[in-house]
Amino acid sequence: MSTEETQVFNDSDFDTVVETKNGILDIDVKEIWKYKDLMLLFVKRNFISQYKQTILGPAWAVVQPLLTTVVFTIFFGNVAGLAPGGVNSFVYYLCGNIFWQYFSSSMSMVSHTFTSNSNIFGKVYFPRLVLPISTVMTNLISLGIQFCFFIIAWTVFMFIPGYTMHPNWTIALLPLVIIQLALLALGCGIIISALTTKYRDLAMLVSFGVQLWMYASPVAYPASLFNGGILEKIYWCNPMCPAIELIRSSFLGNGVASFKPEFWGISWIVTLIILTIGVLLFNKVEKTFMDTV
Amino acid sequence: MSDLALKIEHVSKQYRLGAIGGGTLKGDIQSYIARKKGEEDPNSKIWSDAAYRKNEKFMALDDISLEVKKGEIVGIIGHNGAGKSTLLKLLSRVTAPTTGKIGINGRIASMLEVGTGFHPELTGRENVYMNGAILGMTKAEIDKKFDKIVEFAEMEKFIDTPVKRYSSGMYVKLAFAVAAHLDSEILVMDEVLAVGDMKFQDKCLGKMGDVSNQEGKTVLYVSHNMSTIKRLCNRCIVLDHGKKIFDGDVGEAIEIYSNNDTVFSNYHEFKKADYWEHYLRSVQMLNTTILNTDDCVFESGQNVECELELHSNIDIDNLRLRLEFSNATDTFTGMSCSNKISRILKDETKKIRFSFGTDMLSAGKYKVTYALYYANNLGQSTTVDLGRNANRICIKETPTEDKIIGDYRMGGYTRYPDITLLE
């Protein structure tokens, strides 16, 4: 034994070398890709387990945005009169709600990655990023169901005279917006999850913060409420704002909401910055979070 | 590529005592301020202020170096807290070492727990895929092995039932089957065989032997069950307080592990830890001394002479002493009882001398547990005091033709009177 132990440790002799800490930029994308099957299985697991033993099954995905939209239509639309004219306020709110819902639920689910999966993480290794990514993908399925529902409602109201809807070419940008929402939710979520492995305090803020964020985004009211001045510019820097406005203007028409390409560009930059910070932070804690979680 | 499956070099893992218990920023700031002031940490839970003042660190693993060749089955044994599970956790990359490096050749399938990631709502089939993927297999690989897995687990009938309807045995069988059929080159197991029925345990051990011998896989196996270690492993590592104290032959390793806490001393004072608390202890054993030796080594057949000091809180005249012998692996091998001890008065401290024979003990190391008891006229007995492992003695045999027992494993057992061959 003693002679063997004096051998030098040669990294190239081994497939994997486990060291003390990750380098800050030590992100193995190839490894995550290798676990793509696991990612899909997590998506399947999350989705199946969510709706097992329910009568309505995945139809439940529609119920929540439907009820929220009804409430919004009554209170923000009819009572407060915040909905823009010339468009059916139900469709208007439904459109904003389903995308906001996708973002907010993905973000809060991702933010619990470490705490709710510590039993798996504590027993076996796989690239930790697999789980948050699959969470975001699972929610895409719900978004798909909700989007179909929206399309049905949209088509129906299209043929009801009195409401004018002017869909335009920017509908083609929809996949990009959805990707943006997914990345933003992933980024915000993993930042929170990385910061909450040791201190849970931040987790308390999440559900509350999501609500505040909603009121800072054009979900319950049109962005045109902010008209002119520095306030409007600040408001539009919220990455959720150009995204939701873009979706609304492409389905409902330019007068209802406005698409501002320059702010959409900024929101993409913000999204990518948040995502990068998130991945770096996540990468830093993933190796030893088991000791503190 | 070298023929090594694993190389661990100067690996340590350090935990901070009690410091993580706080869990909130406030708690950590409190602890920090307290440390700066040199005061007792308001958040430390178990550890005394003294331990905290030194900002004591706990080394779960302390400078471990290790090499494992491909195809070896290595057992890892050690007492609770020796660092076995920490080592496996580092190997399976659940957490990172504080210092040092680990090199791994091939995929590691770790079974620190069976059924990791099993979801109760999913069917057996879905969970096989889930579990396999968590352990690092692709879907195509699981497809290929699926039938074998189900067959091994004996679960053909139940595979499409959600696992929440499974019995715990079925659950474990399925989970083991998945892990055992992985295409990984290294299998890391932490006492998972402690489950399932005897037959299935046997099957698992056989399978593990096969994966190593026929498929050339490397197995690291942690267990407290010495018989499975003995059966399965061809090399064994003993850990103690985070350090590697032995690496090599399995039999020797078990011997070292079993006698790890042995101090061969002819004097023993009964301490609190020796007692079983539910005894009344109306008569207390204080200490015992072996009189006719210093090193506690006896030739088989030689008498052991002892002196036991007692203190009685009652007036008692029917007290008896029972000695219980266990061998190095803590298996009880026999006992011996005394006559009535002459009357002891209330509040008297008395020394009692006795001797016992060792001719029934074959060569090996024994622990002797003392029990004081009394019996009434109806034969009901009550134990008043018990001190575990008070004496540790070593029996030596001069090998003569009569004494040959034929198998070295039988050391440390009671030897009954010889078989009489009837002509």
| Burial class of residue A149, CB neighbours in 10 A (0-12, 13-18, 19+) | middle
Closest CA to A149 of A68, A248, A59, A244: A59
Which pLDDT value is given to residue B242?
A: 85
Task: Evaluate if residue A185 carries a pLDDT over 90.
Answer: yes
Q: Are residues B279 and B325 in the same domain?
A: yes
Q: Confidence band (pLDDT; 50, 70, 90) for B170?
A: confident
**In terms of residue numbers, what domain contains B106?**
67-258
Q: Are residues B213 and B350 in the same domain?
A: no
A24-33, A133-142, B97-106, B351-360: range with highest mean pLDDT: A133-142
CA B354/CA B98 separation, integer angstroms: 54
Task: Evaluate if residue B52 carries a pLDDT over 60.
Answer: no
Closest CA to B74 of B198, B199, B244: B244
Q: Could you tell me the CATH number of the domain that includes residue B367?
A: 2.70.50.60
Task: Evaluate if residue B44 carries a pLDDT over 60.
Answer: no
Q: Confidence band (pLDDT; 50, 70, 90) for A212?
A: very high
Q: Are residues B84 and B160 in the same domain?
A: yes
**Radius of gyration from C-alpha coordinates of chain B:** 27
Q: Are residues B79 and B188 in the same domain?
A: yes
Distant-in-sequence contacts of B21-30, Cβ < 8 A, 24+ apart: B21/B45, B23/A198, B23/A199, B23/A200, B24/A199, B24/A200, B24/A201, B25/A199, B25/A201, B28/A199
What Cα–Cα distance (Å) separates residue A15 from each residue in A71, A121, A280, B8, B220? 57, 22, 24, 14, 18
Sign of CA dihedral B41, B45, B48, B52: negative
Query: What is the DSSP pairing of strand B108-111 with strand B218-222?
Result: unpaired
- Residue B28 identity (one-letter amino acid): D
A45 contacts B110? CB cut-off 8 A:
no
Q: Are residues B136 and B191 in the same domain?
A: yes
Do the Cβ atoms of B91 and A9 come closer than 8 Å?
no
Q: Are residues B124 and B213 in the same domain?
A: yes
Average pLDDT for chain B? 80
The CA-CA-CA angle for residues B261, B205, B229, to 5°, reads 15
* pTM of the predicted model as reported, rounded to 2 decimal places: 0.73
Do the Cβ atoms of B236 and B249 come closer than 8 Å?
yes
Indicate whether B33 belongs to any domain: no
- DSSP for residue A199: -
Task: Evaluate if residue B308 carries a pLDDT over 80.
Answer: yes
User: What's the gap in Å between the CA of B75 and the closest CA on chain A?
Assistant: 17
Q: Confidence band (pLDDT; 50, 70, 90) for A24?
A: low
Query: Which residue of chain A has the CA closest to B66?
Result: A5
Give the rounded distance of the alpha carbon of A151 from its chain centre. Answer: 21
Task: Evaluate if residue B32 carries a pLDDT over 80.
Answer: no
Task: Evaluate if residue B255 carries a pLDDT over 60.
Answer: yes
Do the Cβ atoms of B104 and A17 come closer than 8 Å?
yes
A290: contact with B, CB 8 A cutoff: yes
Using a CB-CB cut-off of 8 Å, the residues of chain B touching A125 are 92-94, 108, 110
B100: contact with A, CB 8 A cutoff: yes
Indicate whether B243 belongs to any domain: yes
Which of A4, A52, A287 is opposite residue B121, by nearest beta carbon?
A52
Q: Are residues B229 and B280 in the same domain?
A: no
Indicate whether B6 belongs to any domain: no
Indicate whether B332 belongs to any domain: yes
CB pairs under 8 A between A and B: 127
- DSSP for residue A245: H
Which pLDDT value is given to residue A94?
A: 92
Indicate whether B364 belongs to any domain: yes
Average pLDDT over residues A191-197: 87
Name which of A112-121, A180-189, B53-62 the model is least confident about.
B53-62
Q: Are residues B251 and B295 in the same domain?
A: no
Which pLDDT value is given to residue A190?
A: 92
Q: Confidence band (pLDDT; 50, 70, 90) for B219?
A: confident
Strands (E), B262-318: 267-269, 283-290, 297-299, 304-312
Dihedral pair phi/psi, residue A161, rounded to 5°: -65, 150
**Structure tokens that stand for A262 in this block:** 């320059």
B405: contact with A, CB 8 A cutoff: no
Give the rounded distance of the alpha carbon of A83 from its chain centre. Answer: 25
| Chain A interface disruption, residue of B94, B102, B113, most A CBs within 10 A | B94
CA B218/CA B208 separation, integer angstroms: 10
Q: What phi-psi label fits residue B406: left (phi over 0), alpha (psi between -120 and 50 degrees) or beta?
A: left
Which pLDDT value is given to residue A101?
A: 93
B108: contact with A, CB 8 A cutoff: yes
Q: Are residues B291 and B371 in the same domain?
A: yes
* pLDDT tens-digit readout, A221-243: 888 888 778 888 888 889 999 99
Please identify, among B228, B258, B288, the residue that sits at the C-terminal boundary of a domain.
B258
Which pLDDT value is given to residue A149?
A: 93
A62-71, B209-218, B321-330: range with highest mean pLDDT: A62-71
Q: Are residues B254 and B120 in the same domain?
A: yes
Which of A17, A42, A119 is opposite residue B101, by nearest beta carbon?
A17
The proportion of chain A whose per-residue pLDDT surpasses 90, expressed as a percent, equals 36
**Structure tokens that stand for B290 in this block:** 């072996």
Do the Cβ atoms of B288 and B271 come closer than 8 Å?
no
Q: Could you tell me the CATH number of the domain that includes residue B244?
A: 3.40.50.300
Domain coordinates of chain A in residue numbers? 28-291
Q: Confidence band (pLDDT; 50, 70, 90) for A100?
A: very high
In chain B, the number of structural domains is 2
Q: Are residues B238 and B272 in the same domain?
A: no
Q: Are residues B198 and B299 in the same domain?
A: no
B17: contact with A, CB 8 A cutoff: no
Q: Confidence band (pLDDT; 50, 70, 90) for B275?
A: low
Q: Confidence band (pLDDT; 50, 70, 90) for A144?
A: very high
Going by C-beta distance under 8 Å and a sequence separation of 6 or more, which residues neighbour residue A45? B119, B122, B126, B130
CA A245/CA A241 separation, integer angstroms: 6
Task: Evaluate if residue B53 carries a pLDDT over 50.
Answer: no
Which of B23, B95, B113 is opposite residue A291, by nearest beta carbon?
B95
Going by C-beta distance under 8 Å and a sequence separation of 6 or more, which residues neighbour residue A265? none
A45: contact with B, CB 8 A cutoff: yes
Indicate whether B114 belongs to any domain: yes
B246 CB-side CA count, 13 A: 20
Which of B15, B104, B129 is opposite residue A41, by nearest beta carbon?
B129
Q: Confidence band (pLDDT; 50, 70, 90) for B402?
A: low
Task: Evaluate if residue A135 carries a pLDDT over 70.
Answer: yes
**Structure tokens that stand for B279 in this block:** 């005894």
A15: contact with B, CB 8 A cutoff: yes
Which of B119, B136, B138 is opposite residue A45, by nearest beta carbon?
B119
Sign of CA dihedral A224, A227, A228, A233: negative
Please identify, among B223, B258, B293, the residue that sits at the C-terminal boundary of a domain.
B258
A231: contact with B, CB 8 A cutoff: no
User: What's the gap in Å between the CA of A4 and the closest CA on chain B?
Assistant: 8
Task: Evaluate if residue A186 carries a pLDDT over 90.
Answer: yes
Average pLDDT for chain A? 85
Which pLDDT value is given to residue A183?
A: 96
Which pLDDT value is given to residue A8?
A: 61
**Structure tokens that stand for B1 in this block:** 């590529």
B134 contacts A126? CB cut-off 8 A:
yes
Which comes out higher in pLDDT, residue B352 or B402? B352
Indicate whether B27 belongs to any domain: no
Closest CA to B371 of B325, B339, B323: B323
CA A1/CA A3 separation, integer angstroms: 5
What Cα–Cα distance (Å) separates residue A104 from each residue in A61, A182, A261, A274, B75? 14, 10, 23, 15, 49
What Cα–Cα distance (Å) separates residue B179 from each residue in A45, A70, B137? 19, 50, 10
The CA-CA-CA angle for residues A63, A69, A73, to 5°, reads 150
Query: What is the DSSP pairing of strand B381-396 with strand B364-375?
Result: antiparallel
* pLDDT tens-digit readout, B276-285: 666 777 888 8
Name which of B77-81, B224-228, B289-293 the model is least confident about.
B224-228
| Chain B interface disruption, residue of A26, A44, A125, A131, most B CBs within 10 A | A125
Please identify, among B211, B235, B258, the residue that sits at the C-terminal boundary of a domain.
B258
**Radius of gyration from C-alpha coordinates of chain A:** 22
Going by C-beta distance under 8 Å and a sequence separation of 6 or more, which residues neighbour residue A191? A274, A277, A278, A281, A282
Which pLDDT value is given to residue B407?
A: 58
B20: contact with A, CB 8 A cutoff: yes
Task: Evaluate if residue A115 carries a pLDDT over 70.
Answer: yes
Which pLDDT value is given to residue A2?
A: 39
Task: Evaluate if residue B298 carries a pLDDT over 90.
Answer: no
The proportion of chain A whose per-residue pLDDT surpasses 70, expressed as a percent, equals 92
ipTM value, please give it.
0.77
Dihedral pair phi/psi, residue A222, rounded to 5°: -80, 150
Say which residue the tokens 């609500």 belong to. Answer: A211
The proportion of chain B whose per-residue pLDDT surpasses 90, expressed as a percent, equals 6
User: What's the gap in Å between the CA of A20 and the closest CA on chain B?
Assistant: 5
